[in-house]
Amino acid sequence: MVKVAIAGIGELAQELIKVLLKGGGHEITALSRKDSPRNIPPGLSWSKVDYNDKPQLARTLRGFDAVLSFILVFSDEAYRAQLNLIDAAIEAGVKRFAPSEWSMFVLDHYPMYSYKLQTRQYLEHLNRDGKVLEYSLFTPGIFMDYLGPPEKLNQKNLSYSGLFIDFEKCRAILPEYTGALISFVAVDDLIAVVNEALEFDSDWPVIGGISGSRLTISDLVQLGETIRGEKFTVEVVGRHDLQLGKLGTSWIPGSHHSGTSSQQQLTMEQMTAYTLLAIPDGHWNLSDEWNKLLPAHKFLDIETFLREAWS
């Protein structure tokens, strides 16, 4: 049994906790700035922590085998919290650490991921003269679950944020070049990989690519049209506009809620633009280190997922 601390209790972390608890193979503790809620799942421990207090964090982490971070590192405060968590894990003798990644690998050109890049540099610097902390950058690419019906996401504690391809309304926003491969993975497969990684006997790979299915965005649109039985409305955005964080399209992914503010819409537009910008550059074509290390695991392919989701 592995003793695991999970920091940053967002939607993906909650789904991971749910599955790990169901499996019963690990001792799970949630780290949070907040008090323990009344309705925490049976078997889950809860520790209220102050991410600015490294000694307290170190005391909390003593005896743990691994720390998985899901802290949303989009601010100075969150970035500092994750660095303190890393330092505390080392002081406490934690063997393994997974920083908050859970997305793409090439980050250099994307402003919203600057703190993730700095975290990587920090971890690399720590191990420059020898291994101080074993870590892996879990990079699963895009979750295929977001291409399914919104109501099925709700079953996984995941909000429907919307992607550049909307299977529900048969529409898509694409970059000019659509021939580059994109890596998709099911959330269940990511969680299964993390579960197996926690028990993995050998060293974790620093680059922890996970790839469930690879296909081009043009092939994905064609597959969508076949499955949905309807031609998709496609809007194409030029590279210059994407570099400026602008779409100029008739719709913006994730902004379908009536309560969405103008600032939220702007953020969603920028995030979508940077996501699309990464496609022709091949930055969503992830490596498959964990696939190779866990050959017995059979990943769900995207066509099977989509046919079952929209049947």
Mean pLDDT of the chain: 93
CA–CA distance, 63 with 228 (Å, rounded to integer): 51
Polymer length in residues for the chain: 311
- The pLDDT tens digits for 30-45 are 999 999 998 899 999 9
- The pLDDT tens digits for 269-303 are 998 999 999 999 999 999 999 999 999 999 999 99
What 8-state DSSP symbol labels residue 138?
E
Give the rounded distance of the alpha carbon of 47 from its chain centre. Answer: 23
Q: What is the pLDDT of residue 256?
A: 57
CA–CA distance, 244 with 174 (Å, rounded to integer): 16
Average pLDDT rounded to a whole number, residues 70-90: 97
Tell me if 113 sits within 8 A of 103, measured CB to CB: yes
- The pLDDT tens digits for 120-140 are 999 999 999 999 999 999 999
Tell me if 27 sits within 8 A of 1, measured CB to CB: yes
Q: What is the pLDDT of residue 24?
A: 86
Average pLDDT rounded to a whole number, residues 106-113: 80
**Secondary structure (3-state) at 17:** helix
Structure tokens given for 23: 């499996």
Sorted by where each starts, the structural domains of the chain and their CATH numbers stand as 2-135 (3.40.50.720), 155-183+213-282+300-309 (3.90.25)
